[in-house]
Amino acid sequence: MSKLILVVHVSLDGFVAGQRGELDGFEAGEENLQFVCSLTEEADTTLFGRISYQLLNDNWPTARNRPNATKGEIAYSNWYNNAKKIVISKTVAKENSNNTTIVSENILEEIIKIKERAEKNILIFGSPTVSQLLMQHNLIDSYWIFVNPIMFGKGIPLFTDLSNKIKLKLVTTKQFSNGEVALNYLTERE
Amino acid sequence: MRKLIFAINVTIDGYADHTSGIVDDELHGYFTEFLRNVDIEIFGHDTYNLMYPYWHDVAMNQSETEVTNEFARTFDSIPKIVFSTTLKSVEWNNTTLLRSNLQEEIVKLKQQSSKGISIGSISIASQLTQLGLIDEYHFVVHPIIAGRGKRLFEKLENSSQLELIETQKLRSGVVALHYKKI
């Protein structure tokens, strides 16, 4: 069965964005993007909440066509266009173009079905609300958490108001030249 | 100039609840090493009550493992300053109680030439981060999603960019991230 993997940037103090949703301070960079492309090679589906979908979908479908596009941008853009895109939203209009499916009800059941059907892994980018829902239902198998060398001080937390804490198992870490550290964890299941 | 250093256990989602971590000999060993570069420890009221009398008793009775006992002895012997307007008195050895002028006192201490100054309190660390006075940070990241509790920082006015110095992986899956102010 495919694995559901959360890929997310956080500040040192555990925020996925500043108070107004701004991402200032997260510098992805080419090295980081090429690394993410090593994760996308193993995945054929991507899943988002509405806001993350809109952010990514504004950029990635056409990023490969820009004259100054980097190797990583072209690779990621190609993957994005080919991947099955699942958007969890009650408000985004139904859209069948560009391999995109909108899921607005029976979210957990639908995701379990998608997970069973997918041949390769499923990546969730950002999407704190959806991630939290999936995590609480024990559906996330693995995490790549990119810890950025910045303290936001306040903002949108990665996770909030959980009823139980969750233990993870550290698999590996990767350090980037911009000071980012990516921590890879598996969900510990008993 | 002394360095002002904040070392704190956090979960991967940025909560600083001291009951959530994986506490073992390797972690105590990490903090013992950390304390060797420090000769003042700063507390607030809450951290003082959290640490005393517990660690003093371990230092006196040597009631834990060898590594943890060593941590307790090192911790116990470091001079401490407690900033509190509500504590009536402090009983821990080498401990001074101060009522006010956090910024002034810290600036004065930093001007001395000696080992580092460690901050043990989240609220004091928040205030000093705000003032741009902290030189280094050790975030000791535990492989746990706490999902609730006391956040590491709650209301800093501005974000602050740091520079990564080094990372250290412990066998428990804890990753210690060491940064300095830019």
pLDDT at A11: 95
pLDDT interval class at A123 (50, 70, 90): very high
* Residues near A25 by beta carbon (within 8 Å), at least 6 away in sequence: A11, A18, A148, A150, A152, B159, B161
C-alpha distances (whole Å) from B59 to each of A78, A88, B52, B76, B116 are: 60, 54, 11, 7, 22
pLDDT in tens, A33-49: 999 999 999 999 999 99
Q: In what order do the strands lie in the sheet with B160-169?
A: A150-151, B160-169, B175-181, B136-142, B4-11, B116-119, B38-44, B80-83, B95-98
pLDDT at A10: 95
pLDDT at B62: 97
Task: Tell me: pLDDT of B172 over 80.
Answer: yes
Q: Is the model more confident about B96 or about A189?
A: B96
pLDDT at A95: 65
Average pLDDT of span A122-128 = 93
Chain A residues bordering chain B (beta-carbon distance below 8 Å): 10-15, 18, 24-25, 135, 143, 145, 147, 149-154, 157-170, 173, 175, 179-181, 183, 185
pLDDT at A96: 61
| Cis, bond preceding B79 (omega within 30 deg of 0) | no
CA distance A130 to A124: 9
Torsion angle of the four alpha carbons B5, B6, B12, B18, in this order, in degrees rounded to the nearest 10: 140
Pick the closest to residue B4 from B33, B37, B27 (CA basis). Answer: B37
Q: Average model confidence (pLDDT) for chain B?
A: 95
- Give the CATH number for residue A34: 3.40.430.10
Question: Is the Cβ–Cβ distance between A156 and A9 less than 8 Å?
Answer: no
Write the residue in B144, B159, B162 that is nearest to A167 by C-beta: B144
pLDDT in tens, A133-157: 999 998 999 999 999 999 999 999 9
pLDDT interval class at A163 (50, 70, 90): confident
Q: Average model confidence (pLDDT) for chain A?
A: 91
Name the residue range of residue A61's domain.
Answer: 4-187
CA distance B67 to B76: 14
pLDDT at A24: 72
Task: Tell me: pLDDT of B65 over 90.
Answer: yes
What domain count does chain A have? 1
Question: Position B144: which residue type?
Answer: I
Q: Is the model more confident about A94 or about B12?
A: B12
CB within 8 Å: A13 and B161: no
Average pLDDT of span B46-68 = 96
Distance (Å) from the C-alpha of residue A169 to the closest C-alpha of chain B?
6
pLDDT at B57: 97
* Residues near A110 by beta carbon (within 8 Å), at least 6 away in sequence: A103
Task: Tell me: pLDDT of B23 over 90.
Answer: yes
Task: Tell me: pLDDT of B103 over 80.
Answer: yes
Name the closest residue on chain A to residue B180, using Cα atoms: A149
Residue position matching structure tokens 């939290």: A132
pLDDT in tens, B106-160: 999 999 999 999 999 999 999 999 999 999 999 999 999 999 999 998 778 889 9
Name the closest residue on chain A to residue B8, using Cα atoms: A13
* Residues near A62 by beta carbon (within 8 Å), at least 6 away in sequence: A77
Residues of A in contact with B146 (CB under 8 A): 159, 162, 165
Task: Tell me: pLDDT of A22 over 80.
Answer: no
CA distance A15 to A21: 10
Distance (Å) from the C-alpha of residue A95 to the closest C-alpha of chain B?
33
